[in-house]
Amino acid sequence: MDANNRVTLAHRWFEEVWNKGREEAIFEMLAEDAIIHGLTDENGNEIVGQAGFLSFCRNFRGAFPDIYVDVQQTIQEGDKIVALCKVTGTHNGHGLGFAPTNKPVTFTGTAIAVVKDGKLVEGWNHFDFLNLYQQLGYTLTATAERA
């Protein structure tokens, strides 16, 4: 797969999977045994495989049914593609595990993917989820026990 096709695949991934919500696109573009770093399942484990990503996607899109990922820039080198993204949506669903706030959100992130044989085989996601939760009115608190 040449550089132009990798860039097209990255744009198509965000458009089809996230913006249009086409779940079948996950099976078309993601390798069966893909590893997705930086995203976790309900148990805190990295996302592995198509089924694992499908579950994550359903939860997140469930929380933000109007999610829109704008790929603002892509950088391609070798078998890797980097996408710099701006994400918008409204928290109208329960996919995050708490009641909808009906608040709009905007946050940014970077996704790096390895492409092999025309499919995404490994990815690293660095999205500003802290900013997302702050916009929803949730803050992280830390407690420490002293020995």
- Where residue 101 sits, what CATH number does that domain have? 3.10.450.50
Question: Is 38 a domain residue?
Answer: yes
What CA–CA distance (Å, rounded) separates 23 from 57?
8
pLDDT of res. 98:
86
Give pTM, 2 decimals: 0.89
Q: Tell me what the mean pLDDT of segment 74-99 comes to.
A: 94
pLDDT of res. 146:
43
pLDDT of res. 130:
92
The domain of 98 spans: 3-135
Q: Tell me what the mean pLDDT of segment 31-41 comes to.
A: 95
Question: Is 142 a domain residue?
Answer: no
Question: Is 40 a domain residue?
Answer: yes
Q: Tell me what the mean pLDDT of segment 136-141 comes to.
A: 79
Question: Is 47 a domain residue?
Answer: yes
Question: Is 143 a domain residue?
Answer: no
Match 């989820």 to its residue by tokens. Answer: 129
Report whether pLDDT(142) > 60: no
What does each C-alpha distance from 138 to 58, 92, 97, 131, 145 come to in angstroms? 22, 15, 12, 10, 23
Report whether pLDDT(138) > 90: no
The average confidence (pLDDT) of the chain is 92
pLDDT of res. 42:
86
> What's the structural domain count of the chain?
1
Question: Is 81 a domain residue?
Answer: yes
Six-digit token pair at 44?
């805190």
Lowest mean pLDDT among 1-10, 12-21, 81-90: 1-10
